[in-house]
Amino acid sequence: MSRSPTFPKGWLAHYRELIGTWKRRSSSSFDAEDAAHDAIVGMLENGGSTIENKRAYLHRSVANGLINRYRREQSFPTLPLHELSESEHPVMDGVEAAAQVSELSQALSDALGELPPACQQVFAWHRLEGWTVPVYTGYYGAPRNVMVNMRYSF
pLDDT digits (tens, 9 = 90+) for 29-73: 888 888 888 888 888 888 777 888 888 888 899 999 999 988 888
The domain tally of the chain equals 2
- 67 falls within a domain: yes
Q: What is the DSSP letter of 46?
A: T
Q: What is the pTM of this model?
A: 0.47
> How far apart, in Å, are the Cα atoms of 113 and each of 86, 109, 131?
32, 6, 21
* Shared-domain flag, residues 24 and 67: yes
Is residue 145 within 8 A of residue 133, CB to CB? The reply is: no
Q: What angle do CA 67, 73, 78 make, to 5 degrees?
A: 170
Q: How confident is the model at residue 106 (pLDDT cuts 50, 70, 90)?
A: very high
In a domain, residue 39? The reply is yes
Residue 124 lies in a domain: yes
Q: What is the DSSP string of 89-114?
A: S----SHHHHHHHHHHHHHHHHHHHT
Domain of residue 34, residue span: 10-75
